[in-house]
Amino acid sequence: MRNEFHPLLTRISSVENQFTEIDREIAKFIQAHLEDIPNYTANDIAAKTYVSKASLTRFCKKLVSMVLRN
């Protein structure tokens, strides 16, 4: 399954220098738990990364914005 997410991992790595510390924590969690991510809700990920759901939403919006820019 990791190969399916290769573009996502590549994108996260390529823009990581633009992330806040909270963004980096979320990114690390996603990279470490790729196989499980489809089974998690936003609330699950927020709880497991010790961030608010709003922070997770901002991270996702930021990532989408970065993808669309390039």
Domain limits, the chain: 2-69
The tens-digit pLDDT sequence of the chain (70 residues) is 556 666 777 778 878 888 899 999 999 998 899 889 889 999 999 999 999 999 999 999 988 887 777 6
pLDDT for the residue 69: 73
User: Whole-model pTM?
Assistant: 0.80
| Contact assessment for residue 2 and residue 33, using Cβ atoms and an 8 Å cutoff | no
Q: What pLDDT does residue 42 have?
A: 95
Q: Please state, in angstroms and rounded to a whole number, the distance separating the CA atoms of residues 58 and 4.
A: 24
Question: What pLDDT, on a 0 to 100 scale, did the predictor assign at position 12?
Answer: 80
pLDDT the model gives residue 3: 63
**Integer Cα distance of 55 and 53 in angstroms:** 5
- Asked if the 2-69 domain carries CATH number 3.40.1010.10, the reply is no
